[in-house]
Homo-oligomer: A and B are copies of this chain.
Amino acid sequence: MSYEAICIQYSVIGIVRIFIFTFIFVGSQAVENTAMDNVATERRAEESHRQDSADLLIFIMLLTLTILTIWLFKHRRFRFLHETGLAMIYGLLVGVILRFGVHVPRNTNNVTMSCSVNASPATLLVNVSGRFYEYTLKGEVSTVKGPEVQDDEMLRKVTFDPEVFFNILLPPIIFYAGYSLKRRHFFRNLGSILAYAFMGTVISCFVIGLVMYGCVSLMKTVGQLGGDFFFTDCLLFGAIVSATDPITVLAIFNELKVDVDLYALMFGESVLNDAVAIVLSSSIGAYQPAGDNSHTFDATALIKSFGVFLGVFSGSFALGVATGVMTFTKLRDFPLLETALFFLMSWSTFLLAEACEMTGVVAVLFCGMTQAHYTYNNLSPDSQNRTKQLFELLNFLAENFIFSYMGLTLFTFQSHVFNPMFIIGSFVSLQKNPLSFTSVSDQISIFLGRAANIYPLSFLLNLGRKNKIGSNFQHVMMFAGLRGAMTFALSIRDTATYARRMMFSTTLLIVFLTVWVCGGGTTPVLSFMSIRVGVDSDQDNSVNALDGIQRRDTEHERAWPFRMWYNFDHTYLKPLLTHSGPPLTATLPACCGHLAHCLTSPQAYENEGRLHNDDSDDLVLNDGNATMYEDVTVSTDALGTRTANPKHSRMPAFGEHELVVRGTCLVMQLDDPTMSTPPPATSPPPFSDPFVDPFSEPRRNRL
């Protein structure tokens, strides 16, 4: 037994012990609770704090367990389950234990007061025999079940306030997506990404809404519907599940270095359609027809909703970009201050947007993108590193927390419309239940929605694109329609009505299914669709010989709005907002000489030459002098490769950049770790199989 194994065992035993301890503690805790009804308030607040600590500890332990298992998976090169899928499984297990393993006596602390108050104030002062106690409103309790809902204090405690997701966990995830966007490929495919994100999401929302409405109408006639479910609810559901979140797929793409354009399309779409979906759902919520019957068609209300959508989206966009631009730091000498300022400015974007009734998440996304484009260039190298690492960590923790919470909530959420045991039982006994029906039809409607989004749009886009989006790309995008954190956060935000609760439960199932099935199936699908892998994103000057994107990019190919924007950005914005680029004195007309001198950073003169380097991560496409390469398959031993390194020849100081030409077929090789040692000199050339160690950075073959 190796030292390593002992280490893991030791860690796992430790964690399990803490787990058991926590449960025992929580159990005993709850038993105590009932016995001490008359102890002082202060003592009770202390108890409540201890309980909160114990609850939070459960999640921390879940995350720790997830991290250890991810490490084991990565170490053993096991790739069928992504960390988020794993987090969900652990969450499910703990949920089951909490639900069925820990028996907590019924909480008798709740007192129902039937004093007739004419309103439900935010703060309530209760006079208990001369002493005043302050109570704050938590929300309305479902009238369907009445006070009996609160049957399990323990489970209720584990359930977080849904606003936590929107205000604490979602912002770092979304910000990181914006901040880590590979902007060069994003801007290159901007038109298609915008089309998928805006038109695609709206199409998907309406298709799903219509299908669901048909389904709900059917259920109503059959009599299987236990409550109201209006057309707006259907549309809302459509908007919620239109937010795709293919992190699982993208993580694999990143590891395998899948074709950069496919990556850019999918990543860009998923980032933006989160923003579209959240604004869409809030504008559907704002659809309030004037009359008594609030669920009829009303043109005015529809136009108002559309106005809300446009207003909120553009407002959030403007706010995000404005704060992003404002953060141009001059604190280069003090990386700690710089990082702190950067963090605070990003956070204040979110808060400012929320305070203005905009959408903080959308503002933060565009703030991240703007900061990556401008502010990042002004940061000291230390701060660049710090900010990247900080947000990477926050993103990682938040994401895994949300997914493990999802797993947990399937069992601990008290107001699920369906009994979770039923889902397992439905496989055995085919009971006629509206929900199993809904669930299946949802899956159908979601795939329909996705299909109605991807295929027609791709067809239309291909009419205009020089580099077509191949049918295999379309199939992969169709397949990668996972739902994740955003869908979950949107659906848990409001679970007050029957319809919303049904949506929530269904959404949870959709997330589980898509993350496990689609996430696990990514590598086989990539292989089946013969998607090019092993592409170095900095050096994709080769042409894909398969039916992927047939690329003939030149400077002239890009549409004029983007060229105009690029020129404006390069000539005026970059020099104004960063220390790089040509000085404004050179680009502005002579009449603005004084102004230009004031606005140009002194460093800009020194750094004039530096911009070319930055461009590699930027808008500029270096494809003008692209060379054609033959494609190399893995099985070929006689490699016919030609190389060129235009960047290297243009910028001698930029470091070594080698062109990597890798195979087009995906070789799945879950090999023994001992095999990852470099082959002896007599073995075939190392680039014959770039996937010997797929989890480390693929080797660059020096040609």
What is A's interface to B at a CB cutoff of 8 Å?
A: 1, 3-4, 6-8, 11, 14, 18, 22, 25, 37-38, 41-42, 44-45, 48-50, 53-54, 56-57, 60-61, 63-64, 67-68, 70-71, 74-75, 109-141, 143, 146-147, 150, 163, 167, 326, 328, 330-331, 333-334, 336-337, 339-341, 343-345, 347-348, 351-352, 354-357, 360, 386, 389-390, 392-393, 396-397, 494, 496, 598-602, 696
Whether A4 contacts B147 by the Cβ 8 Å rule is: no
Whether B136 contacts A140 by the Cβ 8 Å rule is: no
Whether A137 contacts B140 by the Cβ 8 Å rule is: no
Q: In whole Å, how far is A47's beta carbon from the nearest beta carbon of chain B? A: 9
Q: Chain A at the B interface: mostly helix, strand, loop or mixed? A: helix
Q: Kindly list 20 other residue pairs between chains A and B, CB separation below 8 angstroms, not including A115-B127, A120-B128.
A: A38-B119, A42-B494, A45-B137, A50-B355, A53-B354, A53-B355, A54-B351, A60-B347, A64-B341, A64-B344, A67-B344, A71-B337, A109-B123, A111-B125, A123-B138, A124-B124, A132-B147, A134-B140, A134-B150, A386-B393
For A340, the chain B residues whose CB sits under 8 A away are: 63, 67, 393, 396-397
A-B contact pairs, 18 of them (CB 8 A): A1-B598, A25-B356, A41-B137, A48-B122, A49-B163, A50-B355, A67-B344, A75-B333, A111-B121, A111-B123, A112-B127, A115-B115, A116-B129, A131-B143, A132-B140, A340-B396, A343-B393, A390-B390
Whether B53 contacts A351 by the Cβ 8 Å rule is: yes
Whether A133 contacts B120 by the Cβ 8 Å rule is: yes
Identify which of B42, B56, B122 contacts A44 (C-beta below 8 A): B122
CA distance A343 to B344 in the complex (A): 21
Q: In whole Å, how far is A580's beta carbon from the nearest beta carbon of chain B? A: 15
* Contacts known (A115-B113, A355-B50, A355-B54); A132 close to B121, Cβ less than 8 A: no
CA distance A390 to B336 in the complex (A): 10
Q: In whole Å, how far is A243's beta carbon from the nearest beta carbon of chain B? A: 21
Identify which of B64, B115, B397 contacts A348 (C-beta below 8 A): B64
Whether A57 contacts B351 by the Cβ 8 Å rule is: yes
For A344, the chain B residues whose CB sits under 8 A away are: 60, 63-64, 67, 397
For A111, the chain B residues whose CB sits under 8 A away are: 117, 119, 121, 123-125
For A328, the chain B residues whose CB sits under 8 A away are: 7
For A7, the chain B residues whose CB sits under 8 A away are: 328, 330
CA distance A149 to B137 in the complex (A): 19
